[in-house]
Amino acid sequence: MEQTGAEHVLAAKWDLPFVVGGMLRVAFFNLPDWVKVIVFGIVGSVAVWTAITWLRGRGARAT
């Protein structure tokens, strides 16, 4: 049975999240818990701030 190019694209689309997840696991595996909490707190804060800013901008354009 032959494989089409589309099947390779669908599989490759999931390669990046697995690689990034693996890199994060390796990078943070040996760190102390307090460092993990600080790093994930900063990343989470930036994500929340970005979402709020995006929602405010979206609401301002709608009116």
- Using DSSP, how many helices (H) and how many strands (E) does the chain show? 3, 0
Cα(29)–Cα(43) distance, rounded to whole angstroms?
A: 17
* pLDDT tens, position by position, 18-62: 888 898 888 888 889 999 899 999 999 999 999 999 999 887 776
Using 50, 70 and 90 to split pLDDT, how confident is the model at 10? low
Using 50, 70 and 90 to split pLDDT, how confident is the model at 3? low
Identify the residue with better confidence: 6 or 53: 53
